[in-house]
Structure formats: structure tokens, C-alpha cells
Amino acid sequence: MVEDEKSSAIRPRKLIVRVLRATIKGLLFFALYYVCWLFLAPFAKMIPDLQQTVQIFVRVYICLVVVGELTAGTIYQHFFGVANDLFVISYLILSLNSGMFSMTYQNVALEVDLRLFLMIATMLSFIGLSKTILQAINFVSKKAENAPT
């Protein structure tokens, strides 16, 4: 009975710590976005919809990180980690228009082939995805070992 009271008292503390950790991570990511945006702001005038594209990415990424942090210690943490990695990969491919970037500014037409960069970034993201999947497998195997038989 005493152990049940202790565990029930610890749970709200763990929840508060998780919420604080998730809030801090979310605020740090937003501060990083804000600082980076100060450097990218001059390019927003030349590239249409850059600000909207970056803001959507940052909002969804921060939401997935916060939810993943709130579900830390559960299998759902790994689900949200996989969702985060797949979101980064798909948004990278969609926003870079499959690696070809072209724009016209006044009388100058610029076309840039970013397929090599896209390939490298996608491969690095797939490494992160495989790491997250392996962590999920490790989590499930540890739960299976510790399960009472």
C-alpha cells in the first residue's frame, strides 16, 4: 500500500518534468528558428513563399518534438520519432521540388541543381530513421525481457 502511494505521488512529478522538458525543447527550437530567420529574411524577398514554407516546417517539427518528449519512456516516443524523421524526409523532397530549383529575378534566370544535396540530406535522414527504428526494437525487446512470466 505504501509503495502504491509513493508511485502515485511520483507520477505527477514525472509528468511535470516531462512537460517542462518538452516546453524547454519547444522554446529552444523556436528560438533557434527565430535567430536563423534573422539571417534568412533578406532572401525571403527574392524567393516567394519562403517564409511560409519554413514556418510550416518549423511548426510541425516543433509539435512532433514536443509530443515525442511528452511520450518519453513509452513506445509512442518512437512512433513520433519515426513520424518526425519521415516528415523531414518528405518535406525536404517536396520543398526542394525533387532537387531542381529555378527562379527569375528581374532579368536574370537562375536554375540550380540540388539533387546531390538532396540525396545526401535524404540519406542522412534515412540513417536517423533507421536509428529510431532500432531504438524502438530495443525498447520493445527490453520490455519483453522485463515482463513477468
Number of domains in the chain: 1
CB-count exposure of residue 147 (10 Å: 0-12, 13-18, 19+) = exposed
pLDDT > 90: percent of the chain: 18
Domain range for 81: 2-137
Q: From CA 146, how far away is CA 70, in angstroms rounded?
A: 23
pLDDT for 1 equals: 46
pLDDT > 70: percent of the chain: 93
Is residue 146 domain-resident? no
Is residue 7 domain-resident? yes
**Predicted confidence (pLDDT) per residue in 105-121, tens digit:** 788 888 888 888 888 98
Query: Model pTM?
Result: 0.76
Is residue 61 domain-resident? yes
- For the cut 70, the answer to whether the pLDDT of residue 2 exceeds it is no
Locate the DSSP E strands across the chain. Answer: 100-105, 108-113
